[in-house]
Amino acid sequence: MTRQMSEGQRAYEAKRAAKAGVSLEKWLVQKERERAEEARAQAEAGKPPPPKKKPGFFSRLLDKAHKPL
């Protein structure tokens, strides 16, 4: 919310806030929160998936049991 807005931008956001039924300050806080969540989601999407876990004891035992002799 440290970003400075021009009068036109402020008026536009005030209209949108009024249409949503909230105050301008709440509207701006809500917009900033949504922007942060979107940035966090973008960062999460860029991470590689976690490495596969080693199969458990019973899974390994069943795999051995299904192998031919």
What is the per-residue pLDDT across 20-66, written as a single tens digit (0 to 9) for each? 999 999 999 999 999 999 999 988 888 888 888 899 999 999 999 99
1 has a pLDDT exceeding 70? no
| Longest Cα separation, the chain | 80
Alpha-carbon distance of 44 to 5, in angstroms, equals 30
| Residue 58, pLDDT score | 94
| Residue 21, pLDDT score | 93
Q: Which two tokens stand for residue 46?
A: 């860029």
- For residues 11 and 44, the model is more confident at 11
pTM for the whole structure:
0.57
1 and 32 Cβ atoms separated by less than 8 Å: yes
